[in-house]
Amino acid sequence: MPGFTNALLILAAVVLVVIRQTKPQRMTRSKRWWLVPAVLAYAAVTDSGLVDTRHETASITLLACEVLVGLLMGVAWARTSRVWTEQDGSVWTRGTKATAGVWVVGMAARLGLMGMGLLIGIHQASGALLLALAASLLVRAGLLELRAQGLRPAPALAGGVR
């Protein structure tokens, strides 16, 4: 995927995430919580510049670190998000001030990794950022879904209790 298209995809994903974090979001029982991260991961792995072939080992190590930061950011993001149940039984979530701190620390860590890569001559395309963002979103969504399941009332059995 061309760099400009990846940049637009990254920007759109970040804007969507930030907007969704600033206001309460109702958590539905959707089975497609993994779809956006899957699309981002697909875009990342089909990016021809994901690994710098001139510095393959160092590039793969840097990519692994980038994904690890993404995973850790997803865990911290989910842990700092508030999840609650309304009187009607619906489950809601919203980012907190600590969530904003997670974003700042995560972005600083990613910039640090990019800087290290530049210092040692590794060319990283936008696919690495897409993959890390996909990892963050996937872990966050999965953990929030697990938290929500614990808060939702059990579904009633059809035909009554036996």
Quote the pLDDT of residue 59: 93
Quote the pLDDT of residue 150: 84
Query: What's the pTM?
Result: 0.82
**Mean pLDDT of successive 10-residue stretches along the chain, which has 162 residues:** 69 76 84 87 86 92 95 96 92 92 89 91 85 93 91 65 51
Quote the pLDDT of residue 134: 93
Q: Where along the chain do its domains lie?
A: 3-151
Quote the pLDDT of residue 156: 58
C-alpha–C-alpha distance, residues 100 and 160, integer Å = 45
Quote the pLDDT of residue 158: 58
Quote the pLDDT of residue 121: 92
